[in-house]
Structure 1
Amino acid sequence: MSSTASSTSDVYAVSRAEAQSYYAGLHSAPTLLYRTGKEWSPPSGPEAQCRLKELREVFDHPITTVWNNDLGWRVVKVLDAHTIPFTTVDVVRFKMVEVDEAPEDEEDTDKETVEANKPVVSPVTIWIGVFPESTSATAAHDAAQDILALLKDYQITDVDVDFRESFYMCEAGPRLLKPVSVDDPLIDVVGPLTPTLGLHISTKARPDAGGTMALYLAQGGGSEKLFGLSCRHVLIGSKEANNDYVYHPSAPRKNVLLLSNRDITDLVNSIEINITGHSTAVKNYRKEIKGFEEREKGTNAGDVMEAKAARIEAQALLDDVEKKIDALRVLRKQLNNDWNRLQNRVLGHILRSPPISVSVGRHRFTEDWGVFEVDRAKLGDGFQGNKIDLGTKLTPEEFKKKCFALGDANWEFTYPEDRLLPLMGIIPDNALRTPNMWDSDGEPCLLVIKNGNATNTTIGRANGVFSIVREYFTDTSIDQTSMEWVIINYDSKSEVFSKPGDSGSVIADIHGRIGGMLTGGSGKTPSSDMTYATPFWWLLERIKVNGFPNVHLGVVT
């Protein structure tokens, strides 16, 4: 890989201020290298602040009809012709967000002010990621001009081209417990120990590396066997030869584990933190109770009755907290005694994992998957099939609001009473690109969710234009460039959709239709701005033609 670091003397180089602040608001804070489009104006005034940006998807632009077929790959040829060491090529818009937005319910705001403060959405932008200090601004400029000329072949003249510095990342006994209700004392810690989707997995060969199981699959064909699906790079390490792996009964098994060693440590630490917090509450309640008992010894009848009522209430709260501490201590003991042993964490063993391949078939998707047999007994009686736990980071009301249940959208999200969203059906290819859903602003939208090892349950926005990603390996000369379904973060105020460790997570829309399996992300830091996935409709076809012809989603619990 050639490296021509940009210099401040480069005639096309942007200013340091623009490079560092142009993408203010994005989670990974990428550095701008070069861009076409309007001239940038720095913030002015004594209290000037950068206007923040959020990523937005693209569905309703002419580029969507040609990009996935051939335009995207012609852009790749332009970049290769200019020897640009790109990592990702995305097609996005940027929404400009005010630093201090006016309250939504402010009725006395005049129409002109509302229009002036209306968030600005940028032109469609071909957003190219390159390795830091690998590309000069002049090289980016020259490539951008050729890309703009290429777009004219398609009568597209309203698209910008941006270059940013960014990485592409694809990281990687006892029975499981039942999912618990929100008022259970273990609600904040027990998630990784339940059989809902987002199961934290590792392998006996690499117990310190963790990832996520995507789905349960039924073998079909009259068999009651249960399979698990995840990425190959989660199940088989990169140090092993990238060969087709098929399980043979006479050979040693490649065992899949529940929880990595790090997961166990993190879970124990989380329990300790919860116990410490509750222990502080116990001390406070006991101190309050002593104070109320002293007041009850007084002579004022009214004050005595009030103190007695307060003592009874405080005692009930104390009893509740002490029960929570007892439950947490029991779980901590179980983790230390039972789950620390690798043999006790064996969930099953790998059956098949083709070599990681890119640009597979006419769609040129990434093939990165492995199927393993699941020990049903390990799942316990809390197993309910393919359901995503929506978690407790957002209340049901907050979750529904993010899903536009309170807007002018033509569809609503129904929050499940038990917090577990059943997955039913698959999002077809045409719906990934042109969904029949609209957000509260009347714009095309496909909201998706996932539950992963690193970031738990998150909400994101799928893009209608697929992205192109490239990985670089020094020990092989094969083409490592593929097309991926892409998810952007919900907005600048929400957490990122994924981080390393979430690989293998299933991504579904809010109606429970399966969209894809998460394979990686991109950004200047591990906090990804863009998340990439392999479409599940295609992935299921590949699984069927590679040894599992009868596999299906109708898992029997």
Structure 2
Amino acid sequence: MILSVPSSSGFGTHPNATSAEKARDASPGILSILEDHNVKDAVVEWYEGTVEKLAGPALMRVARETNPTYYVRRPFTAVLGMPIATKEEKDDTDVQGSVSFFSHENKTSTGKASTRVLAVSNNHVLRQDTTVDYQFQGALGEIRALIAANDAETTRLATEIDCLEAKPKSTDPDQAEEDEEALAIVKNELDKLKKNNITLQRSQYSMDRYFVDWAPKISVEVDDRAYTRDIGTFELDSLKFKDHFQGNVVDLVVLINADSSFPSNRMLRIQGVVTPELLASPDCYDENGYPIFIVGKDGNTTNLTLGRYSGLDAYLCDKSGKESIEVANYNYDKKSGNFSAKGDSGALIWTGDGRMLAILHSGMPRGLNSHVTFATPAWWVLEQLRVHYPYADFNRATF
């Protein structure tokens, strides 16, 4: 793996995969290659590290504003960075991550009108088995149909109970006993049906809130670019999101007091995407004149943080030998803290003017700190989403 910043080159190896002597012997050749490409006075740095998916443990419950811990929890709000948690029944495992951004489907792939609003995150946050493609098959329709049928049967049973209770008691002991037994049986059936419907409605509520719609398997072999495709979508329920939905915006409450240049309503609208050309050569510069993007992200664990992207790729090779190219983002400075950590998977990385830059999916810790955050270019992610959702709109501000 090669990571580069101006005047330095960092080489990360898998733990125990090399030695200090081998690193020393390889360094002169590396410096020679850099000099051949007009990179002078470079410093070679070696370190060990393992790339980790930044999914974390279960979320805390959402607190009300009257709760004194409100601001230290990740509130469940319809803005980017919204925390999400999935729970697989298979092994009772909880996983958490963040919403990347929202998208309106507009039309299905066949051209049929659609009002669905989808949220995007990492596949490894939404699914346990990331080695197979997943496409939702519509179980919600079956649940809704069963609830409707149960409602109709509930009405019928209630009417039958009314009739049995209104019926005068027969003077025939056998008939009277039969009527009482019938009433008890119908009441029992009604109670059972009501309990079943409560269970079904809870399932519908859970699935309506967000259920995975599409999650192609994680792959670095989608095309010859070798980017990591680690994406998945889930549908939002209009009853729960419509009233407060604002589209793709970031709440800058943490930074609003530090810089008066931010929007007065503290909401930064995300619109547009950093092109491949600008990813390779940023159109902004740091204090030393190097091309760079100062970037931000709002993640479930580290909340709103700033970092730096210098326009250079990271080349990763996993233990199985598969290679990928990633967008490498570094901490803002030595005092700013980690740009990301476990639980931030899926967070959107954006520029100061609100353009999508990349989708965070993993990182490499260095000691107790996060050394570098890896992400997939946002322009390429949108390209992959449009293969499945050809009419997707990423800029609408209403549900």
**Structure-1-length-normalised TM-score:** 0.54
Task: Name the CA distance, whole Å, in 1 between partners of 2:375 and 2:315.
Answer: 11
Following superposition, the deviation at residue 168 of structure 1 comes to 1.3
The equivalent residue for 1:208 is 94
Q: Which AA in structure 1 matches 2:33? A: L
2:118 counterpart of 1:227? yes
State whether structure 2 residue 56 is matched by structure 1 residue 196.
no
Deviation digits for residues 219-274 of structure 1 (CA, Å, limit 9, x no counterpart): 1234221011111111112xx26011122226999xxxxxxxxxxxxxxxxxxxxx
Aligned residue in 2 for 1:142: 25
Q: CA deviation at 1:197?
A: 0.8
In structure 1, the residue matched to 2:210 is 348
Q: Secondary structure at the match of 2:228?
A: strand
1:169 is aligned to 2:58:
no
* 1:468-479 correspondence runs (5 A): 468-473=315-320, 479=321
Q: How does 1:281-360 map to 2 (within 5 A)?
A: 346=207, 347-360=209-222
Alignment partner, residue 385 of structure 1: 247
1:245 corresponding residue in structure 2: 134
Measured after TM superposition, the shift of residue 160 of structure 1 is 2.7
The answer for unaligned runs of 5 or more in structure 1 is 1-87, 94-123, 254-340, 401-413, 474-478
Structure 2 counterparts to residues 259-278 of structure 1, below 5 A = none
Q: Within 5 Å, give how 1:388-467 maps onto structure 2.
A: 388-392=250-254, 394=255, 396-399=256-259, 414-467=261-314
Q: Determine the structure 2 residue equivalent to 1:549.
A: 390
Distance 1:453 1:225 in 2: 25
> For 2:268 and 2:63, how far apart are their aligned partners in 1?
15
The one-letter code of the counterpart of 2:393 is: H
How many residue pairs get aligned? The number is 325
- Look up the equivalent residue of 1:248 and give its one-letter code: Q
Query: In the superposition, relative to structure 1, how do residues 443 and 126 fare at CA in structure 2: closer, same or farther (>3 Å)?
Result: closer
Change (3 A) 1:345 1:552: same
**Change over 3 Å in CA distance of 1:241–1:462 after alignment to 2:** closer
Equivalent of 1:522 in 352, 360, 364: 364
Residue of structure 2 equivalent to 1:236: 127
Note if 1:154 corresponds to 2:37: yes
Shift of 1:417: 1.8
Return closer, same or farther for 1:192/1:348 CA change in 2, 3 Å cut-off: same
Quickly say closer, same or farther: Cα 1:90–1:441, change in 2 above 3 A. Answer: closer
Checking the alignment, whether the CA contact within 8 Å between 1:178 and 1:195 is kept in structure 2 is: no
8 A contact 1:231–1:519 mirrored in 2: yes
> What are the residue-to-residue correspondences of 1:47-86 with 2, within 5 Å?
none
| CA drift at 1:480 | 2.2
Of 372, 377, 385, which aligns to 1:535? 377
AA partner of residue 77 (structure 2): T
Amino acid at match of 2:124: H
Secondary structure of the 1:366 match is coil
* Alpha-carbon distance between aligned partners in 2 of 1:428 and 1:197, rounded to the nearest angstrom: 21
- Whether the 8 Å contact between 1:177 and 1:382 is mirrored in structure 2 is no
* Kept in 2: contact 1:232–1:370 (CA 8 A): yes
Partner SS for 2:75: helix
1:127 paired with 2:10, answer yes
TM-aligned CA distance change 1:439 to 1:92, over 3 Å: closer
Q: Does structure 1 conserve the Cα–Cα contact (< 8 Å) formed by 2:282 and 2:310?
A: no
RMSD of aligned Cα (Å): 3.0
**Counterpart-to-counterpart distance in 2, 1:363 and 1:373:** 29
Report deviation, 1:152.
Answer: 4.8
* TM superposition shift of 1:435: 2.1
Query: Are positions 1:90 and 2:8 aligned together?
Result: no
Equivalent residue of 2:85, what SS? strand
Displacement after TM superposition at 1:165 (Å):
2.0
Partner of 2:325, secondary structure, is strand
SS at match of 2:26: helix
Q: What code does the residue aligned with 2:371 have?
A: D
Q: 1:251 to 1:481 in 2, by over 3 A?
A: farther
> Does residue 362 of structure 1 match 2:245?
no
SS in 2 for 1:128: strand
Aligned residue identity for 1:133: N
CA distance in 1, matches of 2:241, 2:269: 17
Q: Encode CA deviations 1:143-201: one digit per residue, 9 max, x unaligned.
A: 333333433553545433221122211131xxx99998xx9977615642211111111
Task: Give, as a single letter, the amino acid of the residue that structure 2 aligns with 1:92.
Answer: V
8 Å contact 2:220–2:229 — kept in the other structure?
Answer: yes
